[in-house]
Amino acid sequence: MSISEYAQKMIEKDEVFKDISELKETLWINDKLLPFEMTDGLCQLVVSDADIADAADRLLRFAPYIRKCFPETEAAGGLIESPLSAIENMQKALGEAYDVEIPGKLFLKRDSDLPIAGSVKARGGIYEVLKHAEDLALEAGLVTTDDNYERFADDDLKEFFGHYTVQVGSTGNLGLSIGIMSAFLGFKVRVHMSADARQWKKDMLRSKGVEVIEYEDDYSAAVLEGRRQSDLDPSSYFVDDENSLPLFLGYAVAASRLRKQFEEQGIIVDSDHPLIVYIPCGVGGAPGGLCYGLKRIYKDDVHVFFCEPTLFPSVLIGMASGKDNEANVSDFGISGMSAADGLACASPSGLVTRLDRNLLSGDFTVRDAVLFDYMRMLMDTEDIFIEPSSCAAFSGPLGLMKYEAGRDYLASHGLDSEKLANSTQICWATGGRLVPEEIREQYANTHL
């Protein structure tokens, strides 16, 4: 596969992009990162603090419905939330295995265990479906915002939603969150799934009454065709992972939830106690919203890095080139299938590359093979299972100390050894809870 002209220029200019074209693990530092105060005004013109607060309020309105219909949310009062777990044994094992000292305290944000959909997509995906259902019901005069939203479990509303269709293109986890929630509300659902999608995810969706349409092409093709089919049907609503503000807002709400967990665990975040977060990244919707929400709260005291497969560094390329959603990994001569199915997106979300352009600290790339090593290590040290694609996050705390670019970043941001010793580092686990036991065993025995 040939390398495009713009990609060739980037390769000649910076060794990082040569690594990318050769499928080597690397770290790109975002040279467009700005101090938060310089980005605040422009960002709020697109997604304001009021927008995020409105999304949080909507999720609270739906909490009685979620609590009633999904008993696993009982303890959280109908909120879809995950634990924040210290992983000291994993931190030690990683450091010893790769001869890297990981400073501070390492945590796992376990969105892999989120109720209902078992992945980070339960945040944005379920939020957008709930918002769409609310919009339809309000417009039809079937509910008011003052009602108890347990009303959404009533048969007449399910019958009403049955006249409408929800569609989405997905590599897997977004499809699960959209499919499960939409079908439960009563919508007809069509999930367009790319070639990278796992069979068990397709089977699970079909068991919920969801129509699954399979493609032999990649994620972008599934999204394109899903959008086209939805546009032909006036009663159909398309959840657009590449451009959706409701999805983005659902993810952004996570930051205020995390702040509450910090308060409960006595975790301080300030200039002397920095927060460093590593998020697996596919098309960019979930990590983009998480990054945005975290920066709104913690400003320059939080440093957010994305982690992408060497086969699909689409957000990195989109941001670094300035081509945004017009960038494609094939421009760098990259092709192939990734074991990190949830991250297998050849082109990024233009919404995310533009909104997070001045907020993201950098982007790590990681080989498929080590994802399974990280996965086994987490199981052995903490007895926690997460999907291989989730394990991309562990490339972050290792790489930040290993790569010269990482050490330069720390120095340029005043993150000296004392501050790093007081730091909180979070690897964001993005999927795992719904993986069947036989698939977990297959993963555990996979050596690439």
Detail the DSSP E strand segments found in 344-423.
362-366
What is the C-alpha separation between 373 and 361, in angstroms, rounded? 26
pTM for this entry: 0.96
In the structure, what pLDDT confidence band is assigned to residue 220 with cuts at 50, 70 and 90? Answer: confident
Q: What is the pLDDT of residue 386?
A: 98
- Cβ neighbors of 35 (< 8 A, separation 6 or more) are 300
- Cβ neighbors of 117 (< 8 A, separation 6 or more) are 125, 126, 173, 176, 177, 180, 181, 434
- Cβ neighbors of 441 (< 8 A, separation 6 or more) are none
Q: 5-117+248-444 and 121-244 share one CATH topology?
A: yes
Question: Contact 303/30 with Cβ under 8 angstroms?
Answer: no
Kindly tell me if the per-residue pLDDT of 258 is higher than 90: yes
Name 188's bridge partners: 165
Kindly tell me if the per-residue pLDDT of 91 is higher than 80: yes
Kindly tell me if the per-residue pLDDT of 219 is higher than 90: no
Place of tokens 């004392």: 418
| Residue type for position 100 | V
Quick: pLDDT tens for 100-131: 999 999 999 999 999 999 999 999 999 999 99
How do the domains of the chain map onto residue ranges?
Answer: 5-117+248-444, 121-244
Kindly tell me if the per-residue pLDDT of 196 is higher than 90: no
Q: What is the pLDDT of residue 336?
A: 86
Percent share of the chain, pLDDT over 90: 91
Kindly tell me if the per-residue pLDDT of 217 is higher than 90: no
In the structure, what pLDDT confidence band is assigned to residue 171 with cuts at 50, 70 and 90? Answer: confident
Quick: pLDDT tens for 128-161: 999 999 999 999 999 999 999 999 999 999 999 9
Kindly tell me if the per-residue pLDDT of 5 is higher than 90: yes
In the numeric block, which tokens belong to residue 413?
Answer: 């941001």
Kindly tell me if the per-residue pLDDT of 1 is higher than 80: no
- Domain 5-117+248-444 has what CATH class? alpha beta
Count Cβ atoms below 10 Å from residue 144 Cβ, excluding itself: 9
Question: Contact 367/398 with Cβ under 8 angstroms?
Answer: no
In the structure, what pLDDT confidence band is assigned to residue 40 with cuts at 50, 70 and 90? Answer: confident
Kindly tell me if the per-residue pLDDT of 216 is higher than 90: no
Q: Please give the CATH architecture assigned to the domain spanning 121-244.
A: 3-Layer(aba) Sandwich (3.40)
Strand order in the sheet with 211-214: 211-214, 188-193, 165-170, 236-239
Strand order in the sheet with 27-29: 27-29, 362-366, 302-309, 275-280, 424-429, 105-110, 84-86
What is the C-alpha separation between 383 and 366, in angstroms, rounded? 23
